[in-house]
Amino acid sequence: MRKIFVSFASLLLILSCAHSRAPMAMATLAPTGTNTAKGTVHFTDVDDGNIEVQVDLTGVPAGQHGFHIHEKGDCGNNGNNAGAHFNPTGMIHGAPDAQSHHAGDFGNVTADANGEVHTRFTTHSISLKSGDITNPVGRAVVLHEKADDLVTQPSGNAGARIACGVIQTMGGM
Indicate the CATH number for domain 2-169: 2.60.40.200
Its pTM stands at 0.85
Domain spans in the chain, listed from the N-terminal domain onward: 2-169
Q: Per residue in 69-91, pLDDT tens?
A: 999 999 999 999 999 999 999 99
Contact present, 159 and 97 (Cβ < 8 Å): no
**Burial class of residue 167 in the structure, from the number of CB atoms within 10 Å of its CB (0-12 exposed, 13-18 middle, 19+ buried):** buried
Specify the pLDDT at position 55: 98
pLDDT averaged per 10 residues in sequence order, the chain, 173 residues: 47 47 89 98 91 98 98 98 96 91 95 98 94 96 97 92 97 53
Specify the pLDDT at position 123: 95
What is the secondary structure of the chain as a DSSP string? -HHHHHHHHHHHHHHHHHT--S-EEEEEEEE-TT---EEEEEEEEEETTEEEEEEEEESPPSEEEEEEEESSS--TTTTGGG-SB--TT-PPP--TTSSS--TTEEEEEEE-TTS-EEEEEEESS---STT-TT--TTSEEEEESS---S-STTTTT--SEEEEEEEEE-TT-
